[in-house]
């Protein structure tokens, strides 16, 4: 799914990460210090590294299937290793995650739409069986704005040294079975002259927050929508 565009992933997702951090800061006081924080779909490691540096967590398991994302994540861990060394990067899929009773929190940030219903319900069932009642699950869904953005819209414009990086909506397509595909153009320019371009594709199942909450409920987990894009859940 991801390739060379991972080089610019953090730069072109700054706004969503700023929103995530605000919610994480509110949720972390609910997380027990002892136990394992599961970061499912850890990407380049922003969340795992942030909570390692800013909060007192015993262990963090960063679950990431994409090899390109894991390379970026591992390259950022040197400073964390020097301080706490409490992040373990794990290459596995949703069916092979080994949850234990000492889970202190579960984060699914910007990943739930990558799973189909079978994968999601397998995960909810697993969590419903393993979580203690006071263990929080934080889920972020795709902003509804993405379904209405017009082609050609500049979503991010960031200067990095002499270069300007733009993230541009190129195309949106309905794939059937409630699945959408977006194509984004990353344009790297210098002095207004394009130096490099690449296109990356995002596929996402259009599942609204109410549907996620209903799925969770079937497996003994109560979810509450705490903002437009975020759900906080606990086992009943």
- Furthest C-alpha separation in the chain: 57
Environment class of 202 (CB within 10 Å of its CB; exposed 0-12, middle 13-18, buried 19+): middle
Instruction: Give the single-character DSSP code of 113.
Output: G
Which positions of the chain have pLDDT values less than 70?
A: 1-4, 82
pLDDT of residue 37: 96
pLDDT of residue 213: 98
Q: Report how far residue 10's alpha carbon sits from residue 5's, in angstroms, rounded to the nearest whole number.
A: 10
pLDDT of residue 1: 58
Beta strands 221-225 and 230-235: pairing type? Answer: antiparallel
pLDDT of residue 15: 84
pLDDT of residue 82: 65
Q: Which domains does the chain have, with CATH numbers?
A: 4-141+207-235 (3.40.50.150), 144-205 (2.20.25)
- Helix (H) / strand (E) containing 137: strand 137-140
Q: Report how far residue 206's alpha carbon sits from residue 27's, in angstroms, rounded to the nearest whole number.
A: 25
pLDDT of residue 137: 97
Distance of CA 222 to the CA centre of its chain: 21
* Three-state DSSP class for residue 20: helix
Pair 70, 44: CB distance under 8 Å: no
Neighbours of 65 (CB within 10 A): 19
Residues shown for the chain: 236
Q: How far is CA 102 from CA 3, 6, 15, 132, 228, in A?
A: 34, 32, 33, 8, 30
């Amino acid at each position: 799914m991801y390739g060379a565009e991972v080089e610019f992933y953090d730069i072109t997702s700054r706004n969503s990460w700023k929103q995530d951090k605000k919610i994480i800061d509110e949720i972390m006081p609910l997380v027990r210090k002892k136990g394992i924080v599961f970061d499912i779909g850890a990407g380049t490691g922003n969340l795992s590294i942030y909570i390692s540096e800013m909060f007192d967590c015993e262990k963090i398991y960063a679950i990431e299937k994409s090899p390109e994302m894991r390379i970026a994540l591992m390259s950022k861990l040197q400073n964390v290793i020097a301080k706490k060394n409490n992040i373990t990067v794990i290459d596995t899929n949703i069916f092979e995650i080994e949850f234990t009773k000492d889970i202190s929190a579960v984060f699914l940030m910007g990943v739930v739409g990558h799973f189909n219903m079978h994968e999601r319900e397998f995960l909810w069932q697993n969590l419903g069986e393993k979580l203690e009642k006071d263990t929080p699950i934080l889920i972020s869904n795709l902003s509804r704005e993405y379904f209405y953005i017009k082609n050609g819209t500049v979503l991010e414009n960031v200067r990095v040294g002499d270069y300007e990086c733009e993230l541009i909506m190129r195309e949106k397509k309905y794939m059937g079975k409630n699945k959408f595909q977006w194509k984004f153009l990353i344009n790297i320019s210098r002095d207004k002259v394009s130096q490099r371009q690449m296109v990356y594709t995002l596929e996402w199942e259009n599942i609204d927050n109410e549907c996620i909450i209903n799925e969770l409920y079937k497996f003994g987990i109560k979810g509450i929508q705490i903002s437009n894009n975020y759900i906080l859940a606990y086992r009943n």
